[in-house]
Chain A
């Protein structure tokens, strides 16, 4: 029972982590916080995928034992999600790197990473030309 509880606690914690990451992406106006939220979601999904190949408390890594017989471990985990997740980690890393550089450039150009402020300043620029003829 304790093992099942621990496993369920881990699974629900990961789901809560995904919700927190999505909340950061949707609700936080700061671009860096959005990137952090995306990273949290990405990494949590990776862990969730690896968890699907878990075999309980007796799990062993999917590596052959060098003991003369070269037999596979008796309770080896599913190696497929691990192989898939490798690619996802690299893609996520590349994605985060590029987003970070874009955010850095936005900060240089506009002096802020707050999305609300950036959008408002853009709207003001668009509205001003329409107002000027009316004042004349």
Chain B
């Protein structure tokens, strides 16, 4: 007996396939024009990303990184703030229950726990690696933080939330980590600007590389080239903030809906 839902899905698939065949035969070309590489903005960014003959270059191997940091750095900071706001708003709804809740205690059997012992450090290390390498390659603090949190989620399901919280990762510790990371992020952004303003010198904040005649900022050398340490710092702080924020969300989800059952 074929269910009506399966029939509906099959009908949609067939309609989409037939529509694409008809469109291809009638139109003869791609419906969305393929990118031909002649866009002015793209040419500009391509030349800007890694051009040793120009003083104005990002020195980043990834074009997306060059755009994200050198042109859209403030946006990147604001998107972290949006995530913060979502976590804070979610916490505000369940704030009164987070401190006193007693969470689920049952652990998984020793076999999955042993496997997870091997998998969880890999997840955390990959997340941290993404955050550190986000300076010059695809990745960054947000992606790294979420990946690390996934490793931590496995730990929570394997060893129980109660086990994790008893080992010091309670709601208050995570909230403190989240807020201190945000404050340090803002300090890292503001302090070079203020120092430069007081000293009357040019500064750089959201830049992958170091510009000429700019003196205020921290340096890190990669393959012999000077890069801004600010983004490395920012990524690590964002990793801490997103990691702790995501775990708080897990606690909220665990409290919500089952509050009566988990509270003793």
Closest residue of chain B to A105 (Cβ to Cβ) is B93
- Given A52-B35, A76-B46, A80-B45, CB of A12 within 8 Å of CB of B86: no
Within 8 Å CB of B108, what residues of A? none
Does A105 lie within 8 Å of B20, measured CB to CB?
A: no
Helix, strand, loop or mixed for chain B's interface? helix
Q: Separation in Å of the B239 CB from the closest CB of chain A? A: 14
Does A94 lie within 8 Å of B83, measured CB to CB?
A: yes
Q: Among B32, B37, B89, which residue has its beta carbon within 8 angstroms of that of A52?
A: B32
Does B137 lie within 8 Å of A63, measured CB to CB?
A: yes
Query: How far is A51 from B142 in the complex, measured between Cα atoms in Å?
Result: 23
Interface residues as binary, B213-227 with A (CB distance below 8 Å gives 1, 0 otherwise): 000000000000000
Query: How far is A94 from B19 in the complex, measured between Cα atoms in Å?
Result: 35
- Name, among A16, A48, A94, A108, the residue most crowded by chain B CB atoms within 10 Å (CB to CB): A94
Query: How far is A53 from B31 in the complex, measured between Cα atoms in Å?
Result: 13
Q: Separation in Å of the A90 CB from the closest CB of chain B? A: 4
Any B CB within 8 A of the CB of A117: no
Within 8 Å CB of A27, what residues of B? none
Interface residues as binary, A55-90 with B (CB distance below 8 Å gives 1, 0 otherwise): 110000011101000101001111110110011001
Does B41 lie within 8 Å of A80, measured CB to CB?
A: yes
Does A63 lie within 8 Å of B93, measured CB to CB?
A: no
Within 8 Å CB of A1, what residues of B? 24
Q: Among B12, B23, B68, B87, which residue has its beta carbon within 8 angstroms of that of A86?
A: B68
Within 8 Å CB of B16, what residues of A? 9, 12-13, 16
Does B31 lie within 8 Å of A79, measured CB to CB?
A: no
Does B64 lie within 8 Å of A82, measured CB to CB?
A: yes
Does B32 lie within 8 Å of A62, measured CB to CB?
A: no
Does A83 lie within 8 Å of B68, measured CB to CB?
A: yes
Does A79 lie within 8 Å of B79, measured CB to CB?
A: no
Stretch at the interface among A35-43, A96-104, A127-135: A96-104
Any A CB within 8 A of the CB of B34: yes
Does A8 lie within 8 Å of B31, measured CB to CB?
A: yes
- Given A79-B42, A87-B76, CB of A101 within 8 Å of CB of B93: yes
**Which residues of A are interface residues toward B (Cβ below 8 A)?**
1, 4-5, 7-9, 11-13, 16, 20, 48, 51-56, 62-64, 66, 70, 72, 75-80, 82-83, 86-87, 90-91, 93-95, 97-98, 100-102, 104-105, 107-108
In the assembled complex, 15 residue pairs joining A and B whose CB atoms fall closer than 8 Å, in A order, are A4-B28, A4-B30, A8-B24, A13-B16, A16-B12, A48-B32, A56-B34, A63-B61, A70-B61, A76-B37, A79-B42, A79-B46, A100-B253, A102-B93, A108-B259
**Which residues of B are interface residues toward A (Cβ below 8 A)?**
12, 15-17, 19-21, 23-24, 28-32, 34-37, 39, 41-42, 45-46, 49-50, 52, 61-64, 67-68, 71-72, 75-76, 79-80, 82-83, 85-87, 89-90, 93-94, 137-138, 142, 146, 249, 252-253, 256-257, 259
- Top 5 A-B pairs, shortest CB-CB distance: A94-B86, A79-B63, A62-B63, A104-B256, A101-B90
